[in-house]
Copies of this chain bind each other. A is one copy, B any other.
Amino acid sequence: MKDINNYISTNKDRFINELIDLLKIPSISADPAYSKDVLETAKAVKKSLDDAGCENTEICETKGYPVVYGDKIIDPNLPTVLVYGHYDVQPPDPINLWDSPPFEPIIKKTELHPDGAIFARGACDDKGQFFMHVKAVEYMIKNNTLPCNVKFMIEGEEEVGSDSLEDFLKENSEKLKNDIILISDTGMITNDTPSITTGLRGLSYVEVEVTGANRDLHSGIYGGAAPNPINVLAKMIAELHDENNHITIPGFYDKVEVISDEERAEMAKAPFDLEEYKKALDIDDVHGEKGYSTSERFGIRPTLDVNGIWGGYMGEGAKTVIASKAYAKISMRLVPDQDWHEITDLFTKHFKSLAPKSVKVKVTPHHGGQAYVTPIESIGYQAASKAMETTFGKTPVPQRTGGSIPIVALFENVFDSKTILLGFGLDSDAIHSPNEHFGVWNFLKGIETIPYFYKYYTEMKA
């Protein structure tokens, strides 16, 4: 397996250029204006699988954007790894905060990435990360070192809730059958402290609309007498947390997994520097639930955040208007044993109960997903840990992170397979933010590490 390093040395410029070509296509699934680009990206992904030596490659239609499939079956008796990733990206807004255009990738050095990082929307989330798998599999196929079977399933709706995926999995459960699912769509602690994600939070994402009068009103004539939906919405949002930043939705915490003091003490050993954290975000204080540390707040506790709010006059200057409507997008990150459908219902009921009689409230669920935990005693986790140890020279730390990949819980239901979350990005890579990037070192380290996972997993499984 040592020749993986030679293969990377010889081909790294091509790897990077191929990724850059992929990053140039603005595959923004949230915005229908980019639907042609999303479809074009699917084609480019299929071609990359063909080029890597995969077989049975296919752009599989769904009700939404297609899933790109490809496989390499060397022996039906050997284990099968299913690689999942997504080729769609987040919208780049606010676009004016990007230092370079989000779909014109450039490589720049940063403090944390002295070998350079590729700056582009999707660089880390998830084009750069799933493409490591394409290149690692290319290496194994071209050098006859693939020790087991591999299937790829790269979807185009992850950033908008993977709406079509459940049906796709169920309709193609035989074709997608696998022993383990491998995903790189998370991060690790630092380049010196490799980690494997063992817990993901669930998600419930809703949009709310508060309506006052049937039209925008003059604030002089109506101010103080007619309902102002912005003031009302602000008050309703404020009432979703109490003075200790606990969420006030009745029943919200009922099913939250109780973590023992011992386990909390064990987790608290993971390296975390609060001063560095505050400095990196340029904040004077953190802000979260009373009684929990910062790592616990994003690791093991459910949260509620407003992701967007709008209403009334947002232009330059002043307009003395009382808006007819105000809107917010609100998401809740959930922890194991909270059911996102139930939480969405609890939120809806509670939010509506907060409204005064003077307004009308509409709550529209966008999407959601269940939380997930990977057992560290599983073969999959052990193989991934050993692979990272081989290439990083350090045993990775198991880590629960705050993000959500709603389909992971779904995979377990449909395939009865565990998922290994082997990510190589860093939290500071600004995914979902302006100036998203992915370290060149991380990209190549991922390509180097992945083949060892296949080797150890096949050996341990034998």
| Chain A residues within 8 Å of chain B by Cβ, number | 103
Chain B residues, Cβ within 8 Å of A222: 281, 298, 402
Given contacts A333-B223, A402-B220, contact A160 B317 (CB under 8 A): yes
Bound CA span A289–B231, Å: 13
Bound together, the chains give a CA A105 to CA B403 distance in angstroms of 52
Q: Does A267 contact B (CB under 8 A)?
A: no
Q: Does A25 make an interface contact (CB < 8 A)?
A: no
Q: How far is the CB of A21 from chain B (nearest CB, A)?
A: 25
What is the oligomeric copy number?
A: 2
Chain A 430-449 interface mask (CB, 8 Å, partner B; 1/0): 11111100000000000000
* A123 CB → nearest B CB, Å: 14
Contact B239 A238 (CB under 8 A): yes
Find A313's partner among B212, B226, B233, B308 (CB 8 Å cutoff).
B308
Chain B residues closer than 8 Å to A31, beta-carbon distance:
315-317
Which residue in chain B gives the minimum CB-CB distance to A317? B30
Residue among A301, A316, A326, A366 facing the most chain B CB atoms (10 A cut-off) = A316
Q: 5 closest A-B pairs (Cβ-Cβ)?
A: A224-B303, A220-B403, A30-B317, A308-B312, A238-B238
Chain B hits for A367, CB < 8 A: 318
Interface residues as binary, A198-211 with B (CB distance below 8 Å gives 1, 0 otherwise): 00010101010000
Query: How many Å lie between the Cα of A358 and that of B285 in the bound state?
Result: 4
State the CA gap A90–B315 with chains docked (Å).
11
| A175 part of interface (Cβ distance < 8 Å) | no
Question: Are B318 and A283 touching (Cβ within 8 A)?
Answer: no
15 pairs of residues in contact across A and B, judged by CB atoms under 8 Å:
A30-B317, A30-B319, A91-B315, A214-B282, A223-B303, A223-B331, A230-B237, A238-B238, A238-B239, A307-B321, A308-B312, A310-B314, A314-B327, A318-B366, A320-B331
